[in-house]
Structure 1
Amino acid sequence: MGWRNSIRFASPDAELFNGIAKEAAQGVARSDAYRNKPTQLRRFYDELLLWETRVSQQPLEAQAAKFAECLPFIRMLNAKAAYADGRKLVDRTFVDLMQHTLSEVTNPQTLTTCKYFWEAFMGFYKQERQD
């Protein structure tokens, strides 16, 4: 999982939404053939998208306050991923990736970058896992 060290949202690498997202998708796709179904992972992306939309739709001067209000719920995605792991719907590789990406979210801009990363990840993941 060397690609995890390349995932930085504060000063993103030019390959974050391309090569790095693809490597992450390949890593998660190869980790467990019976878990990490695309529809399951899509639910996590959809929830992240919901929170990012709530923050980004605010006027620019109100985004920081809305972000602070939403951050506990954004971070709760970690608990939801852990629960899904316990139910054997996702595996530890996915949970670790989710935890790492959410730890990079520190302001409205990094939340948007996180959303774009997961958007790219999901595109590459669907290519890797056709089920």
Structure 2
Amino acid sequence: MGQDHRQHRPQPHQNDESATPQFTIKLTKPLDPELFNGTARKVAEVVSTSDKNRNKSTQLRRFYDELVLWETRANQQPAKFDEYLPFIRMINAKAAYAEGRKLVNRTFVNLLQQTLAEVEDPQTLTACKLFWEAFMGFYKQARQD
């Protein structure tokens, strides 16, 4: 039978601690054919519904740009990936700080945490970066700020 791709689509589910959706996004192979299209679009639409003072595209772009920086380094020197991983995961702390300053919301922080948790090697880092690249394109279209 064919593979059931529903498990890889964003599945918003409520967290008892907050009323923000969380998503299930798998960055390991085989990649869901809709990961960089339908999934990224749906997630971007959800994140874009925040109030206009949070999740501004320029703020989200800073996180994406840092991810690109680490992905470039990891692909240039794959043997150093294990040295880079703590700094890649530290992006979560930067997102938490931005949330504390009311620059981003919990939905964005949850999404970032989940995708960074999937990063285990240079290949999953590349998939993470590509997901965020697609997300940013759809986010800009949905948010238009």
Q: CA deviation at 1:2?
A: 1.5
For this pair of structures, how many residues does the alignment match? 125
Name the amino acid aligned to 1:10.
T
Q: Which residue is 2:120 aligned to?
A: 106
Q: Secondary structure at the match of 1:30?
A: coil
More helix by share: 1
The TM-score, its normalising length taken from structure 2, stands at 0.83
* Residue number among 19, 26, 30 corresponding to 1:8 in the alignment: 26
Name the amino acid aligned to 1:112.
T
Q: Describe the superposition over 1:23-78 as per-residue Cα deviations: whole angstroms up to 9, x where unpaired.
A: 110010013332000000000000000000001123xxxx1x31101000000000
Name the amino acid aligned to 2:36.
F
Q: CA deviation at 1:130?
A: 1.0
Name the amino acid aligned to 1:35.
R
The TM-score, its normalising length taken from structure 1, stands at 0.92
* Residue number among 106, 109, 121 corresponding to 1:92 in the alignment: 106
Rg (Cα) greater in structure: 2
Percent identity, aligned pairs only, is: 68
Where relative contact order (Cα < 8 A, 6+ residues apart) is larger, the structure is: 1
Q: Distance in 1 between matches of 2:41 and 2:60?
A: 15
More strand by share: 2
Q: Which residue is 1:33 aligned to?
A: 52
Q: CA deviation at 1:129?
A: 1.1
Q: Which residue is 1:83 aligned to?
A: 97
The gaps in structure 1 that reach 5 residues or longer are none
Runs (4+) of structure 1 exceeding 4 A deviation are: none
